[in-house]
């Protein structure tokens, strides 16, 4: 177990990839705090971990609210007496309407930035005092290859995920003084249940044809990079972006 007795917070842990991150971290020995805007879903993820023999709690957190993310960090500290790992996974994607950039509604742009970018900033600000005090922390921000390759009709999402990488690069030097690592996992198109419902199987087939590895990424494929950055194997790695996309883009 690479993460035995570590304490990990996962945002967006109630659905899709966030569930898999939570379960994988628990399988590696971490005590997992599952948070989601849908609190009942976060609780369900925690129950699943506990049923499998792990240690987890789940509750509602709105990452757009600094008061909520502060409460998240404080509750974690009260429960487990430390915060070692933060996985900034909460984001909007399938719920965002597609369309030309000049028809994008301002309220949709603002909501996307509030969740996908401000939410990351809020969570880091909330856990930072605890990680700083213990001089240890692993922060993993989840981004997307869309910012590297461009994607029409998704201006808000692509821009927000580019911002996550920029935030990672900018904040890593500040937190490094306190032995806190900050890295990003940049994902290709992951074949989650929600994505299949929105885009259909043909969409994933097109992506597979463009990848080096001719199969769709699964939520489980994304977990290895998160565990790596959360572990002490990545002790001297910070401010980096690791692409997990089956060989879709090269940089």
pLDDT in tens, 68-116: 999 999 999 999 999 999 999 999 876 777 777 887 899 998 999 999 9
| Domains in the chain: boundaries | 7-244
Give this prediction's pTM. Answer: 0.93
- pLDDT surpassing 90 at residue 36: yes
Least confident of 90-99, 131-140, 170-179, 211-220: 90-99
Per-residue model confidence (pLDDT) at position 103: 76
Rounded Cα distance, 192 and 152, in Å: 21
Higher-scoring residue by pLDDT: 85, 205 = 85
**Residue 36: CB atoms within 10 Å:** 28
Mind telling me the catalytic residues?
157
Mean pLDDT of 46-63: 98
Mean pLDDT of 221-232: 96
- pLDDT tier for residue 251 given thresholds of 50, 70 and 90: confident
- pLDDT surpassing 70 at residue 147: yes
CATH class, domain 7-244, is alpha beta
Mean pLDDT of 22-37: 98
Rounded Cα distance, 34 and 23, in Å: 10
């Amino acid at each position: 177990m690479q993460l035995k007795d570590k304490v990990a917070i996962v945002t967006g842990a109630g659905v899709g990839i966030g569930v898999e991150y939570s379960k994988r971290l628990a399988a590696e020995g971490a005590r997992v705090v599952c948070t989601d805007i849908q609190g009942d879903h976060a609780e369900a993820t925690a129950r699943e971990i506990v049923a499998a023999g792990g240690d987890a709690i789940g509750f509602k957190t709105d990452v757009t609210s600094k008061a909520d993310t502060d409460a998240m960090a404080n509750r974690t500290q009260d429960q487990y007496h430390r915060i070692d790992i933060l996985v900034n996974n909460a984001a909007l994607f399938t719920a965002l309407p597609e369309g030309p950039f000049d028809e994008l509604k301002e309220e949709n742009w603002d909501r996307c930035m509030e969740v996908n970018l401000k939410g990351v900033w809020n969570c880091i600000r909330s856990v930072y005092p605890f990680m700083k005090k213990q001089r240890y922390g692993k922060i993993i921000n989840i981004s997307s290859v869309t910012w590297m390759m461009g994607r029409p009709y998704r201006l808000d999402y692509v821009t927000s995920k580019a911002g996550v990488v920029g935030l990672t690069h900018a904040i890593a030097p500040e937190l490094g003084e306190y032995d806190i690592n900050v890295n990003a996992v940049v994902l290709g198109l992951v074949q989650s249940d929600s994505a299949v419902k929105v885009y259909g199987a043909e969409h994933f087939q097109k992506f597979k044809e463009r990848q080096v590895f001719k199969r769709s990424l699964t939520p489980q494929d994304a977990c290895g990079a998160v565990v790596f950055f959360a572990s002490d194997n990545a002790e001297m790695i910070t401010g980096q972006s690791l692409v997990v996309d089956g060989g879709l883009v090269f940089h």
